[in-house]
Chain A
Amino acid sequence: MIAVLGLVVGVVAGLLVRPEVPAVVEPYLPIAVVAALDAVFGGLRAMLDGIFDDKVFVVSFLSNVVVAALIVFLGDKLGVGAQLSTGVVVVLGIRIFSNAAAIRRHIFRA
């Protein structure tokens, strides 16, 4: 419950406060958000499986974000930033879908 509240508060804060994102971080923000979403779906699935561990969740969340940003950064340096970020989004999207499928099976038994 607290976790859901955290998400809601975050969204509201982002919409209300309108913080200025530093220009250095800006290109990595969308891909980091997608990576974090993947981590959250994975965590939700693990919780439904009964194997949720907060330490693992924290580490996976942070490492997902960092690795995604790193890949985009590397892609930008190599001149293939657009293609590489598309690739990252595709991979993360597939993972989100498979996790969502597992969650669905848990909740709806179908």
Chain B
Amino acid sequence: MSADDKPEGPQSPRREELPAEVPAGEPEAPAPPARDQPRLTGRQRLVKGLWPPRVTRPQLIVALLLFVLGLGLAIQVRSNNDSSALRGARQEDLVRILDELDDRTERLEEEKRGLEEQRTGLENSSDQAEEARKQTVERERQLGILAGTVAAQGPGITLAIEDKKEAIEADMLLDAIQELRAAGAEAIQVNDVRVVASTHLSDAGGGGVRVDGRKVGAPYLFKVIGKPQDLEPALNIPGGVVQTLEKEQATVTVTRSEKIVVSALRPAKQPDYARSSSE
């Protein structure tokens, strides 16, 4: 009725013809009273429609349609309320939102890639720095063994020289040291003096030898780190160190050992003139 029920005046011809239809449409409705009192007011009609409730065909049909309306209303209100704004959005809005999201995703992806590159670079450089530091430490230790600034331990031999007649001279000890170096000795200690590249030996007055300016007397005890199988034969070869020393009435003992500790140290000396050069 509503669509046809335009707000025309009551003078509309349709309005005149419709009341006649109503009783025909609702046979069970109180048609005779309606005909008896055609001037029933709207308010009275409303009250009569509401109470008492009558199960009539029009009422049922209207109830069905209103049920559908209420259902749609509730669904729409709920979907507008509880789900995101996207649910009610139109297609073009959704497309726009999607485009924006794509753009944003792309931008963030790019940013992420950049940051990851940066991270990889930093990790690499820190790895390299760590590796370089390790190598430097290792190298420092090796050089320290050579320079005598750190203690060393490893397999090797001990060479003990008993000199009752005080016939041992510096050049004999130097020969022994040279022989040991040639045989691959890596760290040498005479009594409590470390022998390094710059070590010098000289005769001291009244028996004994000066090693690096420090007096070392008999018995001489060499601690040598190196391959024992190489060092011992090198000393014992015919006409070698041991025989030469024994010719001087000295008692020489060579002992192999799996663990020799060279603990005498030499202070590191900063060179005055020489500087490291990369070439």
Contacts and interface: CB of A to CB of B under 8 A. Distances in A.
Interface of A: 1-15, 18-19, 21, 26-27, 29-30, 32-33, 36-43, 45-61, 63-64, 76, 79, 81-82, 98-99, 101-103, 106-107, 109
Given A8-B70, A103-B42, 17 more contacts: A1-B51, A6-B63, A6-B66, A9-B70, A27-B90, A30-B76, A30-B88, A36-B68, A36-B72, A39-B3, A40-B65, A42-B4, A46-B5, A48-B45, A52-B1, A59-B3, A98-B7
Nearest to A28: B72
A109 B41 CA distance: 10
Contact of B40 (A18, A50, A54): A50
Given A45-B5, A51-B18, A64-B2, A10 B46 contact: no
Does more than half of chain A's interface fall in helix, strand or loop, or is it mixed?
Answer: helix
B26 interface: yes
Interface of B: 1-5, 7, 10, 15, 18-19, 21-22, 25-26, 34, 38, 40-43, 45-46, 49-55, 57-76, 78-79, 87-88, 90-92
A4 to B, nearest CB: 7
B42 A53 contact: no
Contacts of A81: 90-92
Nearest to A67: B3
Contacts of B40: 50
Contacts of A4: 50, 66
Does more than half of chain B's interface fall in helix, strand or loop, or is it mixed?
Answer: helix
Contacts of B78: 14-15, 18
Contacts of A47: 45-46, 49
Contact of B76 (A29, A50, A55): A29
Contacts of B73: 10-11, 14, 33, 37
Nearest to A13: B71
Nearest to B43: A107
Contacts of A32: 72
A8 B15 CA distance: 31
B67 A53 contact: no
30 contacts: A2-B53, A2-B54, A2-B59, A2-B60, A3-B62, A5-B53, A6-B67, A10-B68, A11-B71, A12-B74, A14-B71, A14-B72, A15-B78, A19-B71, A21-B75, A32-B72, A33-B69, A33-B72, A36-B68, A38-B2, A40-B2, A41-B2, A47-B45, A51-B22, A54-B61, A57-B65, A61-B2, A99-B2, A106-B46, A107-B46
Contact of B15 (A38, A39, A40, A51): A51
A42 B69 CA distance: 14
Contacts of A79: 92
A10 B1 contact: no
B42 A48 contact: yes
B42 A50 contact: yes
Contacts of B87: 26
B26 A6 contact: no
